[in-house]
Amino acid sequence: MIVAGTRLAGKVDETSVGYVVTRFVHVWFLPLVPMSSWFVTDAGARPVPFSFKSALLGYVRSWAVALALGGTAGFLYLCTVYYGRFEIYLRGGTAVDESEVMSMAVTLAAVGVLAVLGVIAFVAARFLRRASPARCAELSRATGLSVAPL
């Protein structure tokens, strides 16, 4: 079953009144195509000019989670697949040569690094959520609301 449709992602520019999100076309909840940006308040949502920051963070947050989970799963899978080969090499067996062990070690390291980068990207994106006073002034003009920074 394929899960597809539109959803809001990329929550940024948090203010005293609301925040900005971007509406995406998604497949399996991973954003693919940004469509429009919205200022969301308790009373509803209002369209605002397209926010590249929101679109970028919508991609980063969603794909970083996928990268972290996929990288971790891949790392664990490869550990189980390579375990026997590493053990043969470490016990002095001749069925596995040094170049094969190095290749396996590099592959494990690369997949592990991808998992860690996914976690770092997800956490780092959390620090870009608050709106600056200048952005609050832009949002006030665009929405007709009195928007103040947090």
Parse the chain into domains and list their residue ranges. 4-143
What pLDDT is recorded for position 117? 94
Q: Could you give the CA distance from residue 18 to residue 69 in angstroms, rounded to a whole number?
A: 30
Which residues, in sequence order, are bridge partners of residue 9? 22
Q: CA dist 18 to 53, 88, 103, 111, Å?
A: 16, 59, 50, 38
pLDDT of residue 123: 92
Would you state the pLDDT for residue 128?
Answer: 86
Give every residue of the chain whose pLDDT is below 70, as ranges. Answer: none
Please report the pLDDT score of residue 110 as a whole number: 94
